[in-house]
Structure 1
Amino acid sequence: MKEAIARQLTLNSDLTIEVLVAFIREEVQKTGLDTAVFGLSGGIDSALVAYLATQALGRNHVRAVLMPYQTSSQASLSDAEQVVNDLDIPSFTVPITASVDAYFDTIDQVLGVKANALRRGNRMARARMATLFDLSAHFGALVLGTSNKTELLLGYGTQFGDLASALNPVGDLYKFQVRQLSKVIGVPQSILDKAPSADLWEDQTDEQELGFSYDEADELLFQLVDLRVDPARLVAAGARPELVETICRRIARNHYKRKPPIIAKVSNRTIGIDFRYLRDWGQ
């Protein structure tokens, strides 16, 4: 990443943490609730959310949920447990292997073809989010999302899976900024050092699957989205044309994942079009 872009991306860590902690506290409490639940994968994004939520609500008002599949990395599970121990927060381990495998045992026979890794990964992500929303009802807690801005812009996530949540405190942080805040807030070094992975199949890494590094993505995304630099100017300045094209295409192609479902308009006031109020209207 170019030094000038890195400087622009660098946040006032203490102030940003203060803002995000206040965001979680206010958005949870304005619903009349006082507890949050979130998936803890052992990755840096969910670890940061765990630390922010604990500061915002207190250790007795957060619920961390570990949801391993049989191929999940043992190292990731250990990292998640380290976060739990460091914060001394309540946690629950809910394996998803049986439910995911039961589904594919059935659907593979119905379709007459074995599901590929993408379909299995999407099912795992949705099984995890279904678990979180069930526990949300059990605990009377809001589900916190853990998808960062880089992932949201690239569409690197599963619709109604890991992209679903009630609140997302890290959705406006690029991966570079997630790393920055995680170092300051005290996320364990083992998490800071390891390669990012959705951990949906063995030996998966985000950057290998994407085909480029998060630093490369953040540099271009920041210029394209935040600074509104024309793609042609980036190429003229030395950016790889194929990478600029790939990232621009991903931003546009995956926009549907960032929007609520489209409702066909047949009345005078349609939800989301003419009938629009703030999220906390009526509270």
Structure 2
Amino acid sequence: MKPHLKEYAYPAILEFIKEQTKGKKCVVIGLSGGIDSAVVSKLCCDALGPERVFNIIMPSSVSSKKDVDDAQNLCTEFGMNYKVIQLDTLINAFSAILDLHDPLLKGNIMARVRMTILYHHAHQMDGVVMGTGNKSELLTGYFTKHGDGGVDLLPIGDLYKTEVRELAEKIQIPQTIITKSPSAGLRAGQTDEEDLGVKYDELDQILLGLEQLMSVDEIQKETGLEISIINSVFDKYQSSTHKRKMPLIPKLGIRTIGCDWRE
């Protein structure tokens, strides 16, 4: 039981990007050198043309030089525009003012600073901020609220991480990006799978079971994974519900935003 990329996914995403960016001059993407942002950048390039894709590479002192090089090489290979903005001065200023020492809190600040930079450029350029979150991250809350979760569109938001890898191969993302260990780049030596406590191949099997309304016991029987791992993923899903919803509003009117107001 594993998710697999649907044949219609690639053309459907391209159509989505074209339709949702009508009237805008460009898309703005935070390009990390990782697979998710590389795939989103290339999808936008294929949908809109490289001249309408503006990538911003935002490294800090904890960033890998290889990630920065991979991001720049991707832009060069496909003819996309990019800009490099070093974050250390901004992060150090926040850290001093807030007396930050916790690496996790510092990482959240970094993600929110990146979001601020992306929206500043999108406003200046009459653009749309393209998010790079995938379905695995969204369902486990593995993103910073009002940070990398603060975007206009999520073109790969309905693809599990394992499906993103398949799509990356399909659209010819360089192997140096596809094969590296996924990392948010918020702490030195950090990897996504260590943070999540489960490998993406296993995580996506569990989340697919959740999507199909299977119980913990049914998922365990189908996948052969340990109950403790499945329960841990369920806990992450349940505790991150607030990240996938608008802020709660007390219902007072006939139709209430975030409750029964349909757009």
**Partner SS, residue 29 of structure 2:** strand
Q: 1:11 — aligned with what? A: 5
Q: 2:98 — aligned with what? A: 107
Deviation, structure 1 residue 242? 0.4
Distance in 1 (CA, whole Å) between partners of 2:221 and 2:200 is 22
Provide runs of 4+ in structure 1 moved above 4 Å.
none
Distance in 2 (CA, whole Å) between partners of 1:270 and 1:210 is 35
- Identity level (%): 36
Compute the TM-score of the two structures, normalised by the length of structure 1: 0.89
**Partner SS, residue 60 of structure 2:** coil
**Partner SS, residue 76 of structure 1:** helix
Deviation, structure 1 residue 179? 0.1
Distance in 1 (CA, whole Å) between partners of 2:258 and 2:199 is 36
Q: 1:111 — aligned with what? A: none
Deviation, structure 1 residue 169? 0.2
Contact 2:181 2:191 survives alignment (8 Å) = yes
Q: 1:166 — aligned with what? A: 152
Q: 1:96 — aligned with what? A: 87
Q: 2:196 — aligned with what? A: 210
Distance in 2 (CA, whole Å) between partners of 1:258 and 1:155 is 8
- Give, as a single letter, the amino acid of the residue that structure 2 aligns with 1:251: Y
Per-residue deviation, residues 120-177 of structure 1 (Å, max 9, x unmatched)? 0000001001110111101100000000000001111100101121011000000000
Contact 2:25 2:125 survives alignment (8 Å) = no
- Give, as a single letter, the amino acid of the residue that structure 2 aligns with 1:17: Y
Does structure 1 residue 78 correspond to structure 2 residue 72? Answer: no
Distance in 2 (CA, whole Å) between partners of 1:273 and 1:263 is 8
Taking a change above 3 Å as real, the CA distance of residues 103 and 51 of structure 1, as seen in their structure-2 partners, is same
Q: 1:242 — aligned with what? A: 228
Deviation, structure 1 residue 268? 3.8
Deviation, structure 1 residue 94? 1.3
Does structure 1 residue 230 correspond to structure 2 residue 215? Answer: yes
Which sections of structure 2, spanning at least 5 residues, go unmatched?
none
**Partner SS, residue 83 of structure 2:** strand
Compute the TM-score of the two structures, normalised by the length of structure 2: 0.96
Does structure 1 residue 199 correspond to structure 2 residue 185? Answer: yes
Per-residue deviation, residues 56-92 of structure 1 (Å, max 9, x unmatched)? 1111111100011121110100110111011111101
Indicate which of 137, 143, 162 corresponds to 2:123.
137
Pairs within 5 Å for 1:21-40 = 21-29=14-22, 32-40=23-31
Contact 2:129 2:153 survives alignment (8 Å) = yes
Q: 1:67 — aligned with what? A: 58
How many residue pairs get aligned? The number is 262
265-274 vs 64-73, which moves further: 265-274
